[in-house]
Amino acid sequence: MNTVTEHAAIAAADAQQASTYNASDVTLRARLIEAGILIDTGEDGLYGRSQVFEDVIDRLNHAITLLGADQEAEVLRFPPAMRRHDFEDSEYLKSFPDLAGTIHSFQGNDRGHHRLLEALEKTVSVGEEERTDEWMDQQKPTRLVLTPAACYPIYPTIAKRGALAEDGATVDVFAYCFRHEPSIDPGRMQMFRMREYVRLGSPQQVMDFRQKWIERGSLLVNLLGLPFEIDLANDPFFGRGGKIVADSQRAQQLKFELLIPVATPDRPTACLSFNYHMEHFGEIWKIAQANGELAHTACVGFGMERTTLALFRHHGLDVKAWPAEVRDFLWGDTHSRISAGLEALS
Ligand code: ATP
Ligand code: ZN
């Protein structure tokens, strides 16, 4: 090999290394798929989950239950869809029209069915790339949409019960959520699970709740042996006006996130979030406090997949080789470790 080609080879290797680093989100994704921990469906952000992945999710979920046991939260579970009418009222489309997912279905007659099958025939007979969505012209909106955040079905539900009790209400929710944000970053999925505690009450009650959960969320992530930081954040509001809304959300310190380096080392990922909605949902659904004033609300959201991915990223793909402390916390003495941690906080 002469010096010129040698140099070229080194330069090429360097470039490859640099691009490997920059594309480290692809790398973690590829490693998880290769190990069978996540199952590639062929669509970005849509994965199957293996038993090992689900086992970690279950243990994490259990730890979150123990962490909130003293809250005496009402457990409510909803399917990953909500009433379209409630969704319309929620104003989600004002802020995140690009993320929403609606559910459509065939509601036609025999002629419509014929047209659908003709269009389908055309599209399946061509290659993946040339497929069209013409058959979907026969689909009509249903009265359901996909849930964008686990807490959304809660507000209309609680509102129907009338005014809150003196000490407000606390709800425990868990659901698959949908957001149309296809990405090769495994931490940015289109369907993922969110566990949340939701607090409804006076401004003081919900602010105390949020502060408590910033501390408890940090405790959990410490027990998981993961590096993190808490930071002020904003939601990805859509459009030209979005920046102004995001700035105002920051100025009012309405959203904090717990960030962990996951797939992109230079850009840590929000794995937990702590949101204060002020009277936004109280006003939309006319949720009243015991004294008749509008209820304020807050929620803490645990990104189940993101936190699980963070564990694989930092402790390795073999759960049996995870640090003993972490293994003991998840599969051993979860209860006493959480009790001790909560004691230290109080
Ligand atoms: P991001 O800013 O990264 O889009 P977010 O802060 O807007 O996320 P929230 O609306 O606060 O997310 O959702 C609550 C939690 O759900 C987040 O803290 C995160 O852990 C998780 N989450 C949000 N979007 C996704 C996604 N696309 N894939 C996986 N988990 C997600
Ligand atoms: Zn929420």
In degrees, to the nearest 5, what angle opens at C-alpha 198 toward C-alphas 195 and 202?
165
**Residue 21: other Cβ atoms inside 10 A:** 11
337 lines ligand 1 (CB under 6 A): no
102: left (phi over 0), alpha (psi -120 to 50) or beta: beta
299 lines ligand 1 (CB under 6 A): no
Cβ proximity of 220 and 67 under 8 Å: yes
Reading across the β-sheet that carries 81-83, which strands appear in turn? 81-83, 139-146, 102-106
44 lines ligand 1 (CB under 6 A): no
* Ligand 1 midpoint to CA 302 (Å): 9
User: Hey, which of 28, 188, 213 would you mutate to test ligand 1's pocket, going by the most ligand atoms within 8 Å of its Cβ?
Assistant: 188
Ligand 2 ion: Cβ-proximal residues, 5 Å cutoff = 149, 151, 196, 299
As a whole number, the mean pLDDT across the chain is 93
- Signed CA dihedral, 274, 276, 280, 285: sign only: positive
The answer, yes or no, to whether residue 140 has pLDDT greater than 70, is yes
Region 295-312 average pLDDT: 98
Q: Which CATH superfamily is domain 6-101+148-345 in?
A: Bira Bifunctional Protein; Domain 2 (3.30.930.10)
For residue 203, the model assigns a pLDDT of 98
For residue 164, the model assigns a pLDDT of 98
For residue 12, the model assigns a pLDDT of 43
Look at ligand 1, atom 16, and give the residue with the nearest C-alpha: 303
The answer, yes or no, to whether residue 297 has pLDDT greater than 80, is yes
Percentage above 70 pLDDT, the chain: 92
Q: Residues near 12 by Cβ (< 8 Å), separated by ≥ 6?
A: none
182 lines ligand 1 (CB under 6 A): no
**How would residue 4 be classed by pLDDT, with cut points 50, 70 and 90?**
very low
Look at ligand 1, atom 26, and give the residue with the nearest C-alpha: 188
* Ligand 1 midpoint to CA 295 (Å): 25
For residue 15, the model assigns a pLDDT of 40
For residue 142, the model assigns a pLDDT of 98
**pLDDT digit string, tens, across residues 16-57:** 433 444 445 559 999 999 999 999 999 999 999 999 999 999
Region 142-163 average pLDDT: 98
**How would residue 127 be classed by pLDDT, with cut points 50, 70 and 90?**
confident
Distance CA 32, CA 219 (A): 27
Residues of the chain with CATH 3.30.930.10: 6-101+148-345
Strand partners, 169: 200
Region 163-181 average pLDDT: 98
pTM summary value: 0.92
Q: If we measure between CA atoms, which residue out of 30, 38, 73 comes closest to residue 56?
A: 38
261: left (phi over 0), alpha (psi -120 to 50) or beta: beta
For residue 8, the model assigns a pLDDT of 44
**Residue 268, CA distances (Å) to 197, 255, 263, 310 in order:** 23, 16, 8, 10
* Ligand 1 midpoint to CA 115 (Å): 39
**pLDDT digit string, tens, across residues 95-121:** 999 999 999 999 999 999 999 999 999
> Taking the mean position of all CA atoms in its chain, how far away is CA 247?
22
* Ligand 2 midpoint to CA 146 (Å): 15
* Ligand 1 midpoint to CA 135 (Å): 32
Q: Residues near 271 by Cβ (< 8 Å), separated by ≥ 6?
A: 221, 228, 257, 258, 259, 260, 262, 302, 303, 306, 307, 310
For residue 61, the model assigns a pLDDT of 98
What are the φ/ψ torsions at residue 304 (nearest 5 degrees)? -65, -45
Distance CA 279, CA 298 (A): 9
For 282-310, b/e burial (b = at least 16 CB within 10 A) is: bebbebebeeeebbbbbbbbbbbbbbbbb
Distance CA 222, CA 148 (A): 28
**How would residue 1 be classed by pLDDT, with cut points 50, 70 and 90?**
very low
Number of DSSP helices (H) and strands (E) in the chain, helices first: 13, 12
227 lines ligand 1 (CB under 6 A): no
User: Hey, which of 147, 177, 255, 273 would you mutate to test ligand 1's pocket, going by the most ligand atoms within 8 Å of its Cβ?
Assistant: 273
Region 208-221 average pLDDT: 98
